[in-house]
């Protein structure tokens, strides 16, 4: 059976160049904290990768703190900045939502954070604040007005954390232009290995280490660094920076998929389709057919998609993102996420359309 992988927002395939660099790194011995020859070689590889990750987001290499992934980086940002009340957008990833008690900032029906509400919440309490706002939503792909939010946040003496996990490698990124004080990245979303991420920390932001017991990462995250994973992360970032323009073609395929699916299923609803979104992401519902049913039916046809976020241990549950957008419960429970990438082909879209259309035809036949 031919397989069509359309779940890139869950994880992107490992770049062959990253895999090759990791294999070479695995063959070497040396702890980056050791001062002998092998240790110095490991340190050089670590710092070269740090520079590659920093270059992707326009940051200084010293700002990069390597972590075990985006979840840990989000936790380090939100729990490591002490003494501030936390405000988060209603559409944030669970690793942000569960990090600490927070005030939730609403979003519009289009899935965009309500900046007026954010400003009112900042003005209502004089205590120092930390605001967390993702750059692009992992379920709908909707892009958030992070730079505008940063201006509001800083005007109230607050700090801004931006979860850029889904946007990195798909949109041009510059942490300075965004105005973010802290920014989260994850390797496996852009062609690097799973289990590696980074927190970008602006120089004057005080950060308390959550993982202690060593002086690694300039005292901000203890533990011997995952050097092969970090090397692969760096290579993936370098490739992503070079190939950003390629996502215009991905957007063309995504739009073609949207046209075909909504044409064959007139009741279909697209969420986030009327505002700026990632070029690879399509969130839509087949009303009356549970998301789990759609995911399984498509999988049997060789097409891999997901229901909302894929970060909940395989559980299929109604999306808190769509709830925040005011989508009725029944419709939200019928929404799936289709996400494309650099190797997606028109044949993949054909296979998706055929499988989704066949499911719709069976549903109509059973209802007749």
The tokens for 91 are 């559409």
Q: Among the three residues 242, 277, 308, which one is the final residue of a domain in this structure?
A: 242
The CATH number for 30's domain is 3.40.640.10
Q: What is the pLDDT of residue 252?
A: 97
Number of domains in the chain: 2
Residues in Cβ contact with 134 at an 8 Å cutoff, skipping those fewer than 6 apart:
89, 91, 92, 93, 96, 144, 162, 163, 164, 165, 166
- Per the annotation, the verdict on 311 as an active-site residue is yes
In the chain, beta strands by DSSP E: 4-5, 64-67, 85-89, 103-105, 129-132, 159-163, 182-186, 197-201, 269-270, 281-285, 303-304, 335-339
Please check whether residues 198 and 332 belong to one and the same domain: no
Query: Catalytic residue among 29, 162, 237, 311, which?
Result: 311
Please check whether residues 132 and 279 belong to one and the same domain: no
Rounded to 5°, the CA angle 252-14-178 comes to: 60
- For 46-58, write each residue's pLDDT tens digit: 999 999 999 999 9
Please check whether residues 271 and 138 belong to one and the same domain: no
Please check whether residues 96 and 234 belong to one and the same domain: yes
The whole-model pTM stands at: 0.95
DSSP string computed for 70-106: HHHHHHHHHHHS-S-EEEEETT--HHHHTTS--EEEP
Under the banding of pLDDT at 50, 70 and 90, the label for residue 242 is very high
Counting every residue, how long is the chain? 368
Please check whether residues 232 and 266 belong to one and the same domain: no
Please check whether residues 171 and 293 belong to one and the same domain: no
Q: Among the three residues 215, 242, 269, which one is the final residue of a domain in this structure?
A: 242
Please check whether residues 178 and 266 belong to one and the same domain: no
Q: What is the pLDDT of residue 318?
A: 74
Please check whether residues 222 and 249 belong to one and the same domain: no
Q: What is the pLDDT of residue 140?
A: 98
Please check whether residues 211 and 260 belong to one and the same domain: no
- For 95-144, write each residue's pLDDT tens digit: 999 999 999 999 999 999 999 999 999 999 999 999 999 999 999 999 99
Residue 116 exposed, middle or buried by CB count within 10 Å (0-12, 13-18, 19+): exposed
Please check whether residues 86 and 134 belong to one and the same domain: yes
Q: Among the three residues 242, 261, 294, which one is the final residue of a domain in this structure?
A: 242
336 and 282 in contact (C-beta within 8 Å)? no
Residue 105 lies in domain:
16-242
In 156-290, beta strands by DSSP E: 159-163, 182-186, 197-201, 269-270, 281-285
Under the banding of pLDDT at 50, 70 and 90, the label for residue 368 is low
């Amino acid at each position: 059976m031919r397989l069509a992988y359309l779940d890139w927002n869950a994880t992107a395939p490992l770049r062959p160049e990253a895999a090759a660099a990791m294999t070479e790194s695995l063959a070497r011995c040396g702890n980056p904290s050791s001062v002998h020859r092998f240790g110095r070689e490991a340190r050089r590889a670590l710092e070269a990768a740090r520079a590659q990750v920093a270059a992707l987001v326009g940051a200084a290499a010293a700002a990069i703190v390597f972590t075990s992934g985006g979840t840990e980086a989000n936790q380090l940002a939100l729990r490591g900045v002490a003494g501030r009340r936390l405000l988060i957008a209603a559409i944030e990833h669970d690793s942000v939502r569960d990090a600490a008690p927070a005030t939730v900032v609403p979003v519009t029906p289009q899935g965009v954070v309500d900046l007026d509400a954010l400003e009112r919440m900042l003005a209502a309490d004089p205590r120092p604040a930390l605001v967390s706002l993702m750059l692009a939503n992992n379920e709908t792909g909707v892009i958030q007005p992070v730079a505008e939010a940063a201006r509001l946040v800083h005007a109230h003496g607050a700090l801004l954390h931006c979860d850029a996990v889904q946007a990195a490698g798909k949109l041009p990124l510059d942490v300075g232009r965004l105005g973010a004080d802290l920014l989260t990245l994850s390797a496996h979303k852009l062609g690097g290995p799973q289990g590696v991420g980074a927190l970008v920390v602006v120089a004057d932001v005080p950060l308390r280490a959550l993982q202690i017991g060593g002086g690694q990462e300039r005292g901000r995250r203890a533990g011997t660094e995952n050097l092969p994973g970090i090397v692969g992360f760096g290579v993936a970032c370098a490739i992503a920076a070079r190939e950003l323009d390629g996502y215009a073609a991905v957007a063309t395929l995504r739009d073609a998929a949207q046209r075909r699916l909504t044409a064959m299923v007139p009741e279909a609803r697209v969420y986030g389709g009327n505002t700026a979104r990632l070029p690879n992401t399509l969130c839509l519902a087949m009303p009356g057919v549970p998301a789990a049913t759609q995911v399984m039916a498509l999988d049997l046809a060789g097409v891999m998609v997901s229901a909302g976020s894929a970060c909940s241990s395989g559980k299929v549950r109604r999306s808190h993102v769509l709830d925040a957008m005011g989508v009725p419960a029944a419709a939200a429970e019928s929404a799936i996420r289709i996400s494309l990438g650099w190797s997606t082909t028109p044949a993949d879209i054909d296979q998706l359309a055929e499988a989704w259309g066949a499911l719709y035809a069976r549903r109509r036949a059973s209802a007749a």
